[in-house]
A and B are shown apart, each in its own frame.
Chain A
Amino acid sequence: MQAPVPIAGSGSRPPPSTRPGMSRKARERRNHALLHIGLIIYFTVSLMPFVWTFLTSLKQSRDVAAAPLKIFFQPTLDNYRAVLFNQYSDDSALARVRVDIPGSFMNSLIIAGGATLLAMLLGNIAAFALARYKMPEREVYAFFFLAFRFAPVFVFIIPMFLIYQEIGLYNTHLGMILISQVIAIPLIVWVMRSFYESIPPELFDSAALDGATRMQMLRQIALPLAAPGLAATAVLAFIACWNNFVFPFLLGAKQTQTITLATITFIGYEEVAWGMMTAAAIVTIVPELILAMLVQKHIVRGLTYGAVKE
């Protein structure tokens, strides 16, 4: 029997596998190329703000504001000199009101680092308890932690401002570390809880039979097994605390000014110092970038670890 011959214009086409002129390998190559083009476009668009920020940080004031946009320009490190070493040109108004980026950077390190350490300690204990132990209203407690993330910050920031003023935590590093728990602990509790839930319960049962206490189970079984998750969660918590603007703005002042807050002080009436502001922004993302790169494999593994339960 003769195979039916497609009639031109009838709309019927041969199935893809039988299309003339393109082998399976060629189609795969084409799809691969299209995928790559798509990814290149996606990454170009995603990276554009960072590239733009970096290029602006190398420009002089006049080049930043130039119209049409200057793609080619004489790069300068003056902006980095200013933000890293407090070396401003004498004619700059900023020389009079130096934006202390190095000092603010240290404040950010102390606050974000301290907050992450404290939150990891407290959050992991809570996450382990919520994951492994039956208790009345367990889900209510779990939701309670999440509720901090639902509540708009201005709901509690004004009472906190007054309380901080009253008890002397206002404009202190300790105060900033404590308030940052509002950001870090819910994140740690909810992410780590799923890690602990994915650990086979038999391990804990055996440990219990051997007389291990709950803290020993956490320390000697749960934490080592959840190490990838710990790294991922710690980095995420650190980034969340590092990027926070509202707490240091409203509950801090000059002595606890973080780098996110210091960066905006390049806005002035005489000019907006975009070059210095973007240089400060680049400096701001360096610790996050280094941390993320150091624990990159743990982040990917960590974030997918608890996703599928056996």
Chain B
Amino acid sequence: MKLQNRTNRRRFVQGAAVGAAAVGASWLPTRTDRIRAMQDSFDWKQFDGGQVRLILNKHPYTESLLPLVPEFEELTGISVPEPLILPEAEYFQKLLLDLSTGAGEFDAFMTGPYVHWSYDSAGWTEPLEPFLADPNMTSPEYDEADIFKSLMDANRWDLTLGGGTGQGSQWAIPVMVETYVQSFRKDLYDEAGIEPAVTIEQWRENNAAVTSGDIKGIIVRGERGGGMTGTGFISSFRGYGGVVLDEELVCQINSAEGVHVAEQYCASVRESGPEGWANVTWYEGQESFANGSYGQYMDCDFFNALYDDPDKSAVAGQVGFAHCPHAEDRDPFSSLWTWALAMSSKAQDKNAAWYFLQWATMKEQMLVATVEGRNYNPTRASVFDAPEVQATMAEWANGTYLPVVLANLGGFATLGWSPQPEQTFVSTRWDQALQEIWAGDGAQTALDSAKEDIDAHLVDTGVRS
């Protein structure tokens, strides 16, 4: 009965949020209004007859953007053939093949900082700041300053290995940002009389305290190469003061902080986590938490859109958010990832491609993407602050979503990795070390070995001497 009441309350809260979003959506200008308003202030027909070929990741942003594409075609006269859309793993393989062979099949694509570092240094991406700075190419209404500076900076890099982010060329424009949090079952935590952890030791204790019967305390990504170290783990590692590569690009994952966090993290997963952890993908974690099998999933903040959806989740209305564990004497830390739009340096028609990038990242489109397409978290301040967006996010995670995510975006969240083109090797080798620790190897031994391999690889590939 009590559960029924809770469910009803959750449904009401969800309904209210959806209703607020719907009301918000009704305030959005119509398609014709949008086009007319945009045509008044800028020559959008300058490249009439052009074409932009897209490859996009299967993502809420893509899903929200596609229905708007006919507006772009009407506004500019630039045609957009049906884009190729693939899930993440296949998407990056296909994109890499196109960029690395110079085939030039796609003019614009989705990417993010850690990935496009290797594209940027290889010359596969087109710098965007010349377009942004040119009043003939960029509408006066574009308002670049409205995009969170930290997120623009995350996609800006001067190609200096190990540093230089926030400087140099703008390689991509962010359209979505995710930070990392402890998503926990508030009802289970209340029942156990515990608060979300601040330190990694408390985190381990909490996970053990919630583990009971069919419910386990924690699930985190465990698949090697699947972002395993890149979300919650690196956030805690950095929250203890660890750095992956120092200024000389020497690997430091086996530092005292690194060993400590890895030991506690892997021990907790072994004690209170899934049995086949080494195969857990991001979506298995997401689904398993949403079906009520785990007390916590430390991963992306925006996954909450699923957790609080009563039609798809068994834990709607029971979730709370907290920052990833960190040292008591340090601020919380969250790594971040932005999906961003970039242009291929082999683009057939760079002007038309820029027009698409510009249009797709303008306030109007970003607002529609967020309100109608549930593209959270938005990267423009105006969209983030929009009443309908705030109404939705304010309800999430029992009201804890917004404060935690805002604090992350307000300063706790920054790039967790140092910029260099061998990022995939570094993260994957670190993943392997964590799997070894989880399987019973000593943390110091496993991380020492990983450090040696990473250092050797960075030397072999010329990233450092």
The answer to whether A67 and B58 have CB atoms under 8 Å apart is: no
One digit per residue, 1 when the CB lies within 8 angstroms of any chain A CB and 0 when it does not, for chain B 70-110 equals 00000000000111111110100110010001010100000
Q: Which of A50-76 contact B (CB under 8 A)?
A: 61-62, 65-68
A41–B278 Cα distance when bound, in Å, is: 30
* A264 & B288 in contact (Cβ 8 Å cutoff): no
A96 CA to B369 CA, complexed, in Å: 12
Contact A254 B82 (CB under 8 A): yes
Other-chain contact of A161, B60, B103, B290 (Cβ < 8 Å): B103
- Given A65-B290, A68-B214, A265-B85; A96-B67 close (CB under 8 Å): yes
Q: Give A162 to B104 CA distance when docked, in angstroms.
A: 11
B60 touches A67 (CB 8 A): no
Q: Does B293 lie at the interface of the complex (its beta carbon under 8 Å from any beta carbon of A)?
A: yes
Q: Which of A136-187 contact B (CB under 8 A)?
A: 158, 161-162, 165, 170
Question: Quick one: which of B85, B214, B291, B373 contacts A65, CB cutoff 8 A?
Answer: B291
For B57, the closest partner residue in chain A by CB is: A269
Q: Which residues of A contact B58 (CB under 8 A)?
A: 97, 265, 267-269
A253 at the interface (CB under 8 A from B): yes
User: Which one of B184-192, B305-313, B327-335, B409-417 is at the interface?
Assistant: B305-313
Chain A residues positioned under 8 Å from B63 (CB to CB): 93-94, 96-97, 268, 270
Is there a chain B Cβ closer than 8 Å to A305's Cβ?
Answer: no
Query: In the assembly, what is the distance between CA of A236 and CA of B382, in Å?
Result: 58
Of chain B, the residue at the smallest CB distance from A171 is B105
* Bound CA–CA A282/B97 (angstroms): 31
Residue of chain B at shortest CB distance from A272:
B283
Instruction: From known contacts A61-B312, A67-B293, infer whether A272 and B97 are also in contact, taking CB-CB under 8 Å.
Output: no
- A250 in the interface, Cβ–Cβ < 8 Å? yes
Nearest CB in chain A to that of B59: its residue: A269
Minimum CB distance partner of A165 in chain B: B103
Q: Which of A259-284 contact B (CB under 8 A)?
A: 264-265, 267-272
Residues in B38-84 with C-beta less than 8 Å from chain A: 58-60, 62-64, 66-67, 81-84
**A204, CB-defined interface residue at 8 Å:** no
Whether A97 touches B374, Cβ cut-off 8 Å, given contacts A267-B283, A270-B60, is no
Partner of A158, one of B64, B88, B97, B314: B97
Chain A positions 278-304 with a Cβ under 8 Å from a chain B Cβ: none
| Inter-chain contact B312/A67, CB cutoff 8 Å | no
B144 at the A interface (CB under 8 A):
no
Which residue in chain A gives the minimum CB-CB distance to B372?
A96
Q: Which residues of A contact B82 (CB under 8 A)?
A: 254
Interface residues of B in 90-137 (CB under 8 A from A): 90, 93-94, 97, 101, 103, 105
**Which residues from A are CB-within-8-Å of B93?**
249-250
Known: A158-B101, A269-B58, A272-B283. Is A93-B374 also a contact (CB below 8 A)? yes
Q: How far is the CA of A158 from the CA of B302 in the complex (A)?
A: 37
Q: CB-CB < 8 A to A270: which residues of B?
A: 60, 63, 305-306, 374
Is B292 engaged at the interface, CB distance under 8 Å to the other chain?
Answer: yes
**Contact among A61, A67, A249 with B292 in the assembled complex (CB-CB below 8 Å):** A67
Contact between chains at B101 and A271 (CB < 8 Å): no
Tell me which residues across on chain A come within 8 A of B283, comparing CB atoms.
267, 272
- Minimum CB distance partner of B61 in chain A: A269
**Chain B contacts for A254, CB-based, 8 A:** 81-84
Residues of A near B287 (CB, < 8 A) are: 65, 271-272
CB under 8 Å from chain B, chain A span 181-235: none
Tell me the bound Cα distance from A253 to B53 in angstroms: 11
- What is the chain B residue whose CB lies nearest that of A157? B97
CB distance from B306 to the nearest CB of A (A): 6
CB distance from B112 to the nearest CB of A (A): 13
Q: Which residues of A sit under 8 angstroms from B87, Cβ to Cβ?
A: 264-265, 267-268
| A residues in contact with B312, CB < 8 Å | 61-62, 65, 271
The answer, among A94, A158, A265, A271, for a CB contact under 8 Å with B86, is A265
* Residues of chain A within 8 A of B94, CB atoms compared: 249-250
A33 smallest CB distance to B (angstroms): 36
Query: Among B66, B85, B101, B314, which residue has its beta carbon within 8 angstroms of that of A62?
Result: B314
Q: Distance (Å) between the CB of A52 and the closest chain B CB?
A: 16
Name A251's closest neighbour in chain B (CB-CB).
B97
Chain B, Cβ-Cβ closest to A100 = B82
Q: Name the CB-closest residue of A to B62.
A: A97
Shortest beta-carbon distance, B217 to chain A, in Å?
A: 15
Contact B292 A62 (CB under 8 A): no
Does B62 contact A162, Cβ atoms closer than 8 Å? no
Q: Are B311's CB and A61's CB within 8 A?
A: yes
A249 touching B60, Cβ below 8 Å: no
- In the assembled complex, the CB of A229 is this many whole angstroms from the nearest CB of chain B, namely 37
Residues of chain B with a CB closer than 8 A to A250's CB: 93-94, 97
C-alpha gap A254/B87 in the complex (Å): 14
CA distance A268 to B88 in the complex (A): 8
Q: How far does the Cβ of B131 sit from chain A's closest Cβ, in whole Å? A: 26
Could you say which residues of chain A place their CB within 8 Å of the CB of B311?
A: 61-62
A93 to B65, CA, bound (A): 11
Chain A residues with CB under 8 Å of B86's CB are 264-265
The verdict on A253 contacting B59 (CB below 8 Å), with A61-B311, A96-B373 known, is: no
A253 and B66 within 8 A (CB): no
Q: Is the CB of B306 within 8 A of A66?
A: no
- B314 in contact with A66 (CB, 8 Å): yes
Bound form: Cα–Cα A271–B312 in Å: 9
A97-B90 in contact given A67-B288, A269-B59 (Cβ < 8 Å): no
Known A97-B62, A97-B63, A264-B90; judge A67-B97 contact (CB<8 A).
no
B140 to chain A, nearest CB (A): 30
Min distance, Cβ A169 to any Cβ of chain B, angstroms = 13
Q: Nearest B residue to A268 by beta-carbon distance?
A: B58
CB closest chain-B residue, reference A269: B59
List 20 additional A-B contacts (Cβ < 8 Å) besides A94-B63, A161-B97, A272-B283: A65-B288, A65-B312, A66-B291, A67-B214, A67-B291, A67-B293, A93-B373, A96-B64, A97-B66, A162-B101, A170-B105, A250-B97, A254-B82, A254-B84, A264-B90, A267-B87, A267-B283, A268-B60, A270-B60, A270-B305
Some 9 contacts from A to B, beta carbons below 8 A apart, are A62-B312, A65-B291, A65-B312, A67-B293, A93-B374, A94-B63, A96-B373, A264-B86, A264-B90
Interface residues of A (CB under 8 A from B): 61-62, 65-68, 93-94, 96-97, 158, 161-162, 165, 170, 249-250, 253-254, 264-265, 267-272
- Ranked nearest first, the 8 interchain pairs of A and B with the lowest CB-CB distance are A267-B87, A96-B63, A67-B291, A67-B293, A65-B291, A93-B63, A65-B287, A268-B58
